Every structure is written in structure tokens, then in C-alpha cells.
Amino acid sequence: MEKVLVIGCPGGGKSTFSRALNKITGIPLFYLDMIWHKPDKTTCSREVFDQRLGEILRGERWIIDGNYARTLPLRLADCDTVFWLDYPLETCIEGIRARKGKPRVDMPWIEMEEDEEFMEFVRNFPLSGRREIQRLLKEYPEKDIVVFYSREEAEAFLARQKKD
């Protein structure tokens, strides 16, 4: 495990899992949200994002936190391990609501209110994003793909890693 992707529905806890994995392994952690978003809630250009992502992918070791479907095939081609947090939609919605008003190291601003467009994206994720992830992962059977269906499963995995 040297080049790791952590993917899943927004609100599922990708960043929390990634931070814990980083702490256990010492593998450098990169948040795609911190690359794409600016503190003023605008975004960088695709060219800048792709350049920054390319720099990360050229590294020897990394954990990349985030979906960003447009670049997922590129990241899947370069990774050796994928952690997919495939949690129920309600778990993810609860996660989004729980982080409201709290500073996060994976986002350059504090979310103070619910963004209806974002919530609609999340509600549609099981039908759109999840299906796309399933399709893409089938194209990379040689990768070590670990799927968690609950926070408890992910926490148990991390606990085992601490012991090893």
C-alpha cells in the first residue's frame, strides 16, 4: 500500500478515514477539495487542478481523498489500493449535517448552511456516482479494492492496522 485512493459519497467520512490512515502509515495525504476549491468558494481551472494532481501522482507515495469523477480513471490507473466507503445515503447525509459550522482541514472554508444543489448531488449519488464507481472499479481488477459498508467496518480496519 503506497498509492491509495479513498472514495465514496460526500459526507461518508473519506477525510476522517484518510487522516487516520495517514497517521498510521505516514503516507502523505492530499485532499482534492483543497486543490479544487479556493477560500472564496470559487474553483481553480481544470488545467491548474490537473497540473497539481499530476504532481501528486508522480510522487512515490500518496493518499488521495476525493471522488472527482473526471479524474478518477487517471488516479485508478496509478494507485495500488482503493478504499471505497460505500455507506448508506442516510449515513452520508448525517455526516454532512454534523460537520456544518465546523472548521475542516480538507475544505478551505466552513460550511455554515446546507447547500441545496450539493444536497441534491448527494441524494443522487447512489444512482449516479455509486454506479460510476462500480463500473470503473471493474476495469481495474488488479487493484487492491477494499469496500466498507459502514463506519464500524472502516474503524475496525484502522484498528487492525494500528496493531500491525
> What pLDDT does 62 receive?
98
SS (H, E, C) the chain: CCEEEEEECCCCCHHHHHHHHHHHHCCCEEEHHHHHECCCCCECCHHHHHHHHHHHHCCCCEEEECCCHHHHHHHHHHCCEEEEECCCHHHHHHHHHHHCCCCCCCCCCCCCCCCHHHHHHHHHCCCCHHHHHHHHHHCCCCCEEEEECCHHHHHHHHHHHHHC
> What pLDDT does 155 receive?
97
- Residue the block writes with cell 482541514: 105
CB of 35 closer than 8 Å to CB of 49: yes
pLDDT block averages, 10 residues each, the chain of length 164 = 97 97 98 96 96 98 96 97 98 96 92 93 95 95 97 97 86
Query: Going by C-beta distance under 8 Å and a sequence separation of 6 or more, which residues neighbour residue 44?
Result: 35, 36, 38, 52
> What pLDDT does 163 receive?
84
> What pLDDT does 140 receive?
96
- Verdict on whether the full-model pTM lies above 0.75: yes
